[in-house]
A and B are shown apart, each in its own frame.
Chain A
Amino acid sequence: MSHILECTGLTKRYPKRDVNAAEDITFSVNEGEIFAIIGPNGAGKTTTIRMIATLLQPTSGEAQIGGFSLVKEPEKIRKIITYLPDEAGAYKGMTGIHYLEFMASLFAENPKQLEGFVQRGEEICKLGDKLRDKIGSYSRGMIRKLLLARAVMTSPKLAIMDEATSGLDVINALEIRRMIKELAVSENMAFLLSSHNMLEIEYLADRVALITDGKISRVGTVTELKAEYNARNLEEVFEKAVSNNAIS
């Protein structure tokens, strides 16, 4: 299996900070894989994800995305990824459909492609007639669905989502999870997710990376990790991994 993303030693230190917010981040994501970075708040998930989404320039380290260098060719990478920020909103004055059209126009190379993107977006978000309403009137769950549809309608090679389901109720969170899972299987689309909710990731991710204090301590499939730590779920895995690290 080939890698769509390969990070090697990605490190970020914010100005006027004396610790690295992310340090020596090394992992890779396969094509069509759902990969999740999990860790508590402030662990460095957003920092890592923003580096990969070409928003933050790494202090050191490098990543290859679809064969392009993150440091040298970010504009090429932007063509093959999409990014859904944590707690993102959309333009409140726009209608849902207008938002999809606007975002599609940034990715499409011709009108026909644009139309295709928008159509896909409409289908994926399942918002129906509500798409004709202003986004300002949407609920949190509706916005998240719209943004998710936006992020995948262009069939990116890698969809990057920061805390994709945080702040949603159970039903909406389940729906979003199901959407992601379906897309990964049917479209062979790779997902890089982050979450501080380890239980929900357990049902979603093929592989996970555990991150604390800016450093990745373990990478593996959920089953592997559970077996290795003799744990019942990812939360237990995390707890044991962190305490092991502290001792060693």
Chain B
Amino acid sequence: MQFRNLLKKELRELFTLQVIMSMLTSVVLLVLMGQMFGGAVDSAEEQSGAANIAVVDTSNPEFMNQVMSVVEQNLKVSKYNVTSDDYASELKRLEIDNLVVIPEGFAESILNGEPGKIDFISTVKVGGLTSSLSTITSSASISVISHVIQTMVLSGNYGLTETQINTLWNNVVAVEYATFDGKIVNASAEEITGNVMMQMLIAPLVIFFLLFMASQMIMTAISTEKIDKTLETLLSAPVSRLTLLFAKLLAAIIAALANAAAMTVGMFFYMDGLSGGIMGELTGTAGDAMSQLGLSLGVMDYILFGVQLFFTIAIGLGISLILGALATDIKSVQSLLMTMMMVILVPFAACLIADVNAMSPLFKTIMYLIPFTHSYMAIPNLMTGQMALFWFGLIYQIIFFAVVMYFAVKMFTSDKLFTMSFDFSNRRQRSDVRRQSGK
């Protein structure tokens, strides 16, 4: 009985309206995220279901047909016709991401006992992690083809000598091409995608941690001041309210920048340590291929990114400052912090898992309304030269920043700090006390 009452009391304390609200919010967010990413993964799976193959070779149609029919027994194949060897535009015309082309003279080479060349073209995907999946089935088809040819050559009568058959263990040479935005280079798209992902992941990760730490820091600081009433003391002192506000913001920005610097150094060493020095590798072949495809970042890109990073952090700090100042007790700080973390985490996860630009208009709009989405998208946008999107994001953030600052200034220069709060439970208590004592 005692225990039940105690339990009831504890539960009532734990499940305040705010906690329930933030729980509901998380559920709604998770459901939305699930749908969003579910869609993205589905389409990736659909694409990866079949191998895209185009047979151009006419040197020995009978042999080729035989090969293909066996391949098709082992693998789901979508056949395509290519009409030119400008593979970049062919992919665009056929609206596919990747293609295995069996070029003219392939069968002839094989039957002459020479290795046949197969072209494997795939598009570098700059977006979510799921996009690189679609290339896998097609690249797998190359080894299937190779295997089929081996079996056929071994069992069939193609008039090959013993030595020729032995050399045909390696009968297929895959020539890899990577395309991006109409450009094509002789390199592995998988490798380039991997490198691009690596580069692109770091920036959002840094932004995410920075926002996370900065928000938490300033929110804890300001709410402690509010709860300890040191803020009240400061506000009654002969200091301009704007001076107070900007001292707080600037201190937080400095702390965030110190964090950023430390993190950048840490990231660099982390990256350098990864797989024997990615930084070194990037300057080599993959790096060359990336710049040929227009996928590398210039000095200007870094400057723009820096500018946007500044506004990102300023917005995060501004919102956290306003929210933190509304806190009236530790519990409200916690739920406010949770809410803020969600706002930072959701677009981060979204950008990581899916390509926001490719989402349905509704989700895209929702994501773009969250200012941090633009920060996470900045590097991909800069890398792929989608400058319009980048500028849109930056301008949106600047406007958002101005609005946040407007509210922060308004809050600090009025009495909103004392008349507004998210603390429902406490108010109810206060009016209860008043009702009892008044009568």
In the complex, whether A128 has a CB less than 8 A from a CB of chain B is no
CB nearest to B240 among chain A residues: A75
B230 touches A89 (CB 8 A): yes
Helix, strand, loop or mixed for chain B's interface? helix
In the complex, whether B157 has a CB less than 8 A from a CB of chain A is no
Contacts of B370-387 to chain A: CB distance below 8 A: none
A83 touches B232 (CB 8 A): yes
The complex places the Cα of A213 from the Cα of B436 at a distance, in Å, of 11
Contacts of B233-247 to chain A: CB distance below 8 A: 233-240
B418 touches A42 (CB 8 A): no
B238 touches A55 (CB 8 A): no
Chain B: interface size category:
20 to 34
B433 touches A55 (CB 8 A): no
CB nearest to A150 among chain B residues: B233
A88 touches B229 (CB 8 A): yes
The complex places the Cα of A75 from the Cα of B236 at a distance, in Å, of 9
In the complex, whether A31 has a CB less than 8 A from a CB of chain B is no
Helix, strand, loop or mixed for chain A's interface? loop
Q: How far is the CB of A143 from chain B (nearest CB, A)?
A: 10
B236 touches A81 (CB 8 A): yes
B437 touches A57 (CB 8 A): no
A42 touches B430 (CB 8 A): yes
Encoded as 1 (CB less than 8 Å from any A CB) or 0, chain B from 198 to 240 comes to 0000000000000000000000000000011110111111111
The complex places the Cα of A43 from the Cα of B434 at a distance, in Å, of 7
The complex places the Cα of A43 from the Cα of B238 at a distance, in Å, of 29
B229 touches A56 (CB 8 A): no
Q: What is the total number of residues of chain A having a CB less than 8 Å from a CB of chain B?
A: 33
The complex places the Cα of A91 from the Cα of B430 at a distance, in Å, of 27
The complex places the Cα of A42 from the Cα of B430 at a distance, in Å, of 7
A82 touches B236 (CB 8 A): yes
Q: How far is the CB of A242 from chain B (nearest CB, A)?
A: 9
Determine which residue in B228, B233, B430, B434 has the highest number of CB atoms from chain A within 10 A of its CB, and name it. Answer: B233
In the complex, whether A86 has a CB less than 8 A from a CB of chain B is yes
In the complex, whether A28 has a CB less than 8 A from a CB of chain B is no
B229 touches A106 (CB 8 A): no
The complex places the Cα of A50 from the Cα of B232 at a distance, in Å, of 9
A106 touches B437 (CB 8 A): no
**Chain A residues near B (Cβ < 8 Å):** 14-15, 40-43, 50, 53-57, 75, 78-79, 81-92, 103, 106-107, 160, 212-213
4 tightest Cβ-Cβ pairs between the two chains A and B:
A89-B228, A42-B434, A85-B229, A83-B236
**Chain B residues near A (Cβ < 8 Å):** 227-230, 232-240, 414-415, 417-420, 430-431, 433-434, 437-438
Report 17 cross-chain contacts, Cβ distance below 8 Å, ordered by A residue.
A15-B419, A43-B437, A53-B236, A55-B236, A55-B418, A57-B414, A78-B237, A78-B239, A81-B236, A83-B233, A84-B233, A89-B227, A91-B230, A103-B237, A107-B237, A107-B238, A212-B438
